[in-house]
Amino acid sequence: MEREVVRMRRENEECGNYLQNVFATFYIRVLQQTVSAKRQTTRISGLDHDIIQLKIGKKGSNSVDREKRKNENLAKVIDTPGAV
């Protein structure tokens, strides 16, 4: 009888540990998604100025490069004889 009680306690503890691990894993994933969503919201709303400035700076330089290439390509077309 005593062995049975010890075995049941051990199984109960193992089951409890397993459920705690499952819940902890689930909770961590939910927190990660929440933090990620808050970061996106922060970036969009402009509360995190450093991230916004980095993104704008990066996109700004890419936009400038893109605009410069576009103008260069347009100039090539205009300089080409017979081009409209």
Question: What are the tens digits of pLDDT across the range 19-50?
Answer: 788 888 888 888 888 777 766 665 555 555 55
54 shares a domain with 29: no
Decide if 43 contacts 52 (C-beta within 8 A).
yes
Both 60 and 79 in one domain: the answer is yes
List helix spans (H) across 1-84: 2-45, 49-79
Domain count, the chain: 2
Euclidean distance between the first and the last CA atom of the chain, given in angstroms as a whole number: 98
- Give the per-residue pLDDT at 78: 65
pLDDT given at position 83? 52
Pair 73, 41 in one domain: no
